Structure 1
Amino acid sequence: MKKALSATLAVILTASVAAGCGSADKPASGGAAPAPAAGDAAKTDKSKGKLTVYVGFQEDHAVEAMKQFTKDTGIQADMVRMSGGEILAKIRAEKDNPQADIWYGGPADTFVAAMNEGLLAPYKSPAAEKVDAKYKDPNGHWTGIYVGFLGFASNKKFLKDHNLQAPQTWEDLLNPAYKGQIVMANPASSGTAYTALYTVLKVKGSEDKGFDYLKKLHPQVQQYTTSGSAPGRMVGMGEAAVGVLFAHDVIKYQEEGFDTMELTIPKDGTGYETGAVAVIKNTKNQELAQKFVDWSLGASAQEVGQRTGSYQNLTNPDAKEPKKAIKLSDINPIQYDPTEAGKERKRLLDKWNSEVKK
């Protein structure tokens, strides 16, 4: 059942305040009374201590996850919500004196970039044995907790007023009718947008052809946001015609009341994120951080999204996926290699800044 838009805004506002609005100065506590349950790797005897977690997915899901973690394990957790690129920059700046213990959520290619800079501590969780090899680092530097596919959110009124069909391919975004009407995040700050950049290069068949396309797309873009999910809200409110973001975020907005949006998945190929979890190197809470990873890979953690309207596909085969999650049989995913994407991240971002955004 769709929630009233006003109620949704209230929930998101509450979650944002609790999460410190993405500020590193005001972490939000999980705040739930310890009550461990049975079933997952991390659900053992109650543990004392507190973790700080940098979170890369939506606030309401993150707040609920912190509560569930404390309930399941007895460990307190504070969270700070940021975009993937912001988390990477923060961990990089704090490498000599880490201010957080865990990185939780956001595309794995950003984790790969951190791994290559020596910012993550390897940990092979026993719970990771259930996770498909393509969704984890073989040495345990990061492990996938969910999968999300890119899509387009289109404003229905704009489509009707301009007698347009919602875009079906990446090429459709170059329609002159969309000039100055497309919103997407900045790939330097957003893991979502970097996933889109890397996807375009693969869909177009080469780096040169991909960048030629991105140069043509640039005049179509009204704004590059900091957050990867923000374009969906802008489209839903009629501030833009089309947004490029993860399909699960579009579905979430639709369920929250933004029935002004239509979701399409590019037929010529869509990329995806493997949302990951990792232990930050030199954490002072190594044992507790490992327990968080164990917990995050269990069904209890991965099913938290069911309560907050998150619609990602899950990596634990024992976890119950949301009914509205995207079905692989309905889309055309590209061969997305998070390891390659992570290794090429800095070079491709530098090239995008110098040749596209200028």
Structure 2
Amino acid sequence: MKKLLVLALVVLIAMVSFAKEQILHIYTALDENEWPIYVKAFEQATGIKVQVVRMSSGELLARVEAESKNPQASVWFGGPAIDQIAAKKKGLLAPYRSEAVEKVPAAFKDPDGYWIGIYFGAIAFGSNKEQLKQLGVEAPTSWYDLLKPQFKGRISLAYPYTSGTSYTVLAALVAIMGEDKAFDYWKQLHKQIHHYNTSGSACVTQAGLGEITVGIAFAHDIITKGIDKGYPIVLTFPKEPTGYEIGAMSMIKGAPEPDLAAKFIDWMLSAEAQSLMVKWNRIPINPEAPVAPGAVKMQDVNIVPMDFEYFGAEKDRLIERWKEEIEYGM
């Protein structure tokens, strides 16, 4: 009897130890210097350990799809909702309705609970002021300014199939111009491009270092990785409408740690968590969270209405068209 009790105690201790050692696995599209802000705070607040793999949003979608029969992460954290809508259409996400979701406006969340918005960001231009002066040209304030001869070979952004930022650019141009005209425009823009990146925010540092003159990225990345770093960067927006993202998070279907994933999602919707976004100049969705001085709010810019459901569902087709007509066709 004593041996059975001892054995039972050993098993119980082992089970408790395993539970304590359980780790939440997250895939994130946030900058490698940003995601630790939230993850470390979550670990301190909850005692839950987290392991994170960082990828651009398009790469993250491909990874989740490739692992769909054996998911290796539980949470998709950050990046445009468009990509998570595409994942929903592919059956890669699981619905989760946090109690905190009631604070989020309907336009910033999936009606079926498959994704939830956590921040807003607008597409902008980040230009090197020193190079603008040398070239004798003003910072671009129109999509068509990017086609000026002074900018030939001096612009950078990411591939729209690796980067959620760049796919947002493509989707915005389609929303603004119509699909065929948007592709005709990008064919002209392509001739101005110095190079494409895999990461949407990489062009900001490149513009700051003078490797290029203009980077196309989200305003919060231009401010945080450019202006706040002391680079000679000026932030401008197209006078025509610009595109925007609702940065989102979701639970991956078949999540190996669904309970821990739910706790992370709940926590990220709190004012405590979203107040940390001031460190990256993001606009939090939670109205109780503070906004960084100088951060670009939705009402500050002329944004085009974007049908995220449409652009999520049409992503594969639009990306294939971009590859055929722009990457391989030029």
- TM-score w.r.t. the length of structure 2 is 0.91
**Root-mean-square deviation over aligned CA pairs:** 1.4
Q: How does 1:9-24 map to 2 (within 5 A)?
A: none
Is residue 182 of structure 1 aligned with residue 155 of structure 2? yes
Q: How does 1:66-145 map to 2 (within 5 A)?
A: 66-145=39-118
Output the CA distance in 2 between the equivalents of 1:201 and 1:86.
22
Is residue 319 of structure 1 aligned with residue 292 of structure 2? no
Between the aligned residues of both structures, percent identity stands at 44
Letter in 2 for 1:97: N
Q: How does 1:228-307 map to 2 (within 5 A)?
A: 228-306=200-278
Q: CA deviation at 1:48?
A: 6.8
What is aligned with 1:34? Answer: none
Letter in 2 for 1:261: I
In structure 2, list runs of 5 or more residues that go unmatched. Answer: 1-18
8 Å Cα contact 2:205/2:226 also seen in 1:
no
8 Å Cα contact 1:153/1:235 also seen in 2:
yes
Letter in 1 for 2:75: I
Output the CA distance in 2 between the equivalents of 1:55 and 1:170.
30
Residue 172 of structure 2 aligns to a residue whose secondary structure is helix
What is aligned with 2:179? Answer: 207
What is aligned with 1:335? Answer: 305
The one-character-per-residue Cα deviations of 1:238-259 (angstroms, maximum 9, x if unpaired) are 0001110001001002344333
What is aligned with 1:150? Answer: 123
Match of 2:196 among 209, 220, 224: 224
8 Å Cα contact 2:277/2:283 also seen in 1:
no
Q: CA deviation at 1:292?
A: 1.1
The one-character-per-residue Cα deviations of 1:177-230 (angstroms, maximum 9, x if unpaired) are 1111110000000000000011111222x1111111011111101111000000
In structure 1, list runs of 5 or more residues that go unmatched. Answer: 1-45
8 Å Cα contact 1:277/1:296 also seen in 2:
no
What is aligned with 2:11? Answer: none
Greater shift, 154-163 or 223-232, is seen at 154-163
Residue 41 of structure 2 aligns to a residue whose secondary structure is helix
Output the CA distance in 2 between the equivalents of 1:273 and 1:66.
22
Output the CA distance in 2 between the equivalents of 1:201 and 1:284.
38
What is aligned with 1:357? Answer: 327
8 Å Cα contact 1:47/1:73 also seen in 2:
no
Is residue 63 of structure 1 aligned with residue 63 of structure 2? no
Letter in 1 for 2:238: P
Question: Which contiguous aligned blocks of 4+ residues in structure 1 show a shift greater than 4 angstroms?
Answer: none
Output the CA distance in 2 between the equivalents of 1:174 and 1:357.
18
The one-character-per-residue Cα deviations of 1:128-159 (angstroms, maximum 9, x if unpaired) are 11001111100010000101100001111111
What is aligned with 1:171? Answer: 144
Output the CA distance in 1 between the equivalents of 2:45 and 2:325.
49
Output the CA distance in 1 between the equivalents of 2:31 and 2:301.
24
